[in-house]
Amino acid sequence: MGEKIVQSLRNSKGARWGALAVVSFTMMTGYYINYVISPLKPLFEEYFGWNSVDFGLWNSAYGWFNVFFLMLIFGGIILDKIGVRFTGLGAALTMIIGTILQYLAVEGLVPMEGLFFEGTFLEMKSQIFYGALGFAIFGVGVEVAGITVSKVIVKWFKGKELALAMGLEMATARMGTALALALPLPMATVWFGTRAEPAISAPVMLGLGLLVAGFVAFIWYTFMDKKLEASEGIDKASKEDEFKVSDIFTILVNKGFWLIALLCVLFYSGVFPFLYYATDLMINKYGVNPDFAGTIPGLLPFGTILLTPIFGSIYDRKGKGATIMLIGSVMLLIAHTFFAIPFIDNYVIAIALILFLGVTFSLVPSAMWPSVPKIIPEKQLGTAYALIFWVQNWGLMGMPLLIGWSLEKYGRVADESIKGYHYDYTVPMMIFAATGFLAIIVAIMLKAEDKKKGYGLELPNMQK
């Protein structure tokens, strides 16, 4: 009898690229909410009486549950044990729940005083507590969605255009970041409100609608995933070599894993928290009109939309993944060092630096995420990505707090011209530059470890 030839659905270009498009859209909706309040910092300060520490608290909440309650790690285990369909739907629903609470906080529909809060809770204003709680819940959803989508892409593209696919997913997701940096201020002060009476909650409501659309899109993907497994003859009874909880130890003793995780937390701590403050930086240092200040940092994701897939394709075909990560780390240090120099305050220079940082933001992720499957077996990928994201969340939680504190401590400067104060961003930008310096050290160590262990980070991803 002849052997039965299994024709996997992943061999169909239309199917695998279609699956990528669907899950990328879901992630784009999450990335919008991730940064939607960033350009609104001046409005929160003017109309709600916030300061930079309050703003930092809200943004640091992103990692509360992921870091302290290990929700992201549990999500990774669930992903490896149960699969992408259940985990992805749960993550999308969690994002919606967290965003609803954020919307209620911004709109003032949660208790601001009374009950047991009496206006504050743990030294936080009640509005900030409720909004931060919503952002923490959202953070669990979007991070678990991120590891789920990463495993989805490996599932469809391993041995094929893996880095290109991951690059396109990241590029699509960052379109959400670009919209979140560019739209909220004009939405609040021009389209749906005025400077005197801004519609501060309108950008959040838009994000809530997008998340619902992303949830529906992932429901559609679950049917594609079922067809993929059916085409490969995979069912619960036939799955072999499944993930075991004991595999966590195997991941944790892998030096290559830890170097990737450290590079991840350092690099993303130098970019994502920066974007939270970038609009305020443009206003305070470069004198950009507040109504348009978010447009400049909004250029950063647009650069990645084109470049991340290009760098990913280079990695797929030519290799040099560890080298790409090292070059990106050097560029991160250069960009933030120039942002930190006090006398460089022309907005044209700021635009150039944002574009330069956009190239940096394309280089490292385009090589970092496709490198993980070369270090970690596929059955452990969900948990490995979750552990990496967990380490990353320490930085995403701590850096906004550190920057907010440093602004209040060292950056608040009395300004007679406006009978108030402005912020000097020199010290915060030096902190961001330090992440680039440390990332260079880790990237060099990863390159050496790859040479020693033969992970193949310098080799192409595509199999001939």
pLDDT at 196: 83
Cα Rg of the chain, angstroms? 22
pLDDT at 112: 55
Judge contact between 304 and 408, C-beta under 8 A.
Answer: no
Phi, psi (degrees; rounded to nearest 5) at 121: -145, 125
pLDDT at 114: 43
In the CATH scheme, what is the code of domain 12-453? 1.20.1250.20
Q: Which among 222, 239, 232, 236 has a CA at the least distance from the CA of 9?
A: 232
- pLDDT tens digits along 235-282: 654 444 566 777 889 999 999 999 999 999 999 999 989 998 998 999
Cβ-based burial of 185 (10 A; exposed 0-12, middle 13-18, buried ≥19): buried
Phi, psi (degrees; rounded to nearest 5) at 422: -135, 175
What amino acid occupies position 83?
G
Q: How far, in Å, CA of 164 to CA of 169, rounded? A: 9
Judge contact between 142 and 30, C-beta under 8 A.
Answer: yes
Phi, psi (degrees; rounded to nearest 5) at 412: -80, 115
What amino acid occupies position 436?
G
Question: What count of residues does the chain have?
Answer: 464
pLDDT at 116: 41
Q: How far, in Å, CA of 280 to CA of 263, rounded? A: 27
First to last CA, the chain: 29
pLDDT at 349: 95
pLDDT at 6: 52
pLDDT at 457: 95
Domain boundaries, the chain: 12-453
pLDDT at 51: 85
Judge contact between 31 and 24, C-beta under 8 A.
Answer: no
What tokens does 257 get? 């894993």
Our CA angle for 28, 30, 35, nearest 5°, is 100
Kindly list the averaged pLDDT for each block of 10 residues, start to end, along the chain of length 464. 59 92 96 91 88 88 90 90 94 97 87 50 76 95 95 90 91 89 89 88 96 97 93 60 76 95 96 91 91 85 81 91 96 97 94 94 91 89 90 92 92 75 92 97 97 94 72
pTM as predicted: 0.82
Local structure of 420: helix, strand or coil: strand
Q: How far, in Å, CA of 134 to CA of 268, rounded? A: 22
Q: Which among 78, 75, 110, 79 has a CA at the least distance from the CA of 95?
A: 75
Q: Name the residue with tokens 């949660």.
A: 110
Cβ-based burial of 61 (10 A; exposed 0-12, middle 13-18, buried ≥19): buried
Q: How far, in Å, CA of 170 to CA of 301, rounded? A: 10
Local structure of 149: helix, strand or coil: helix
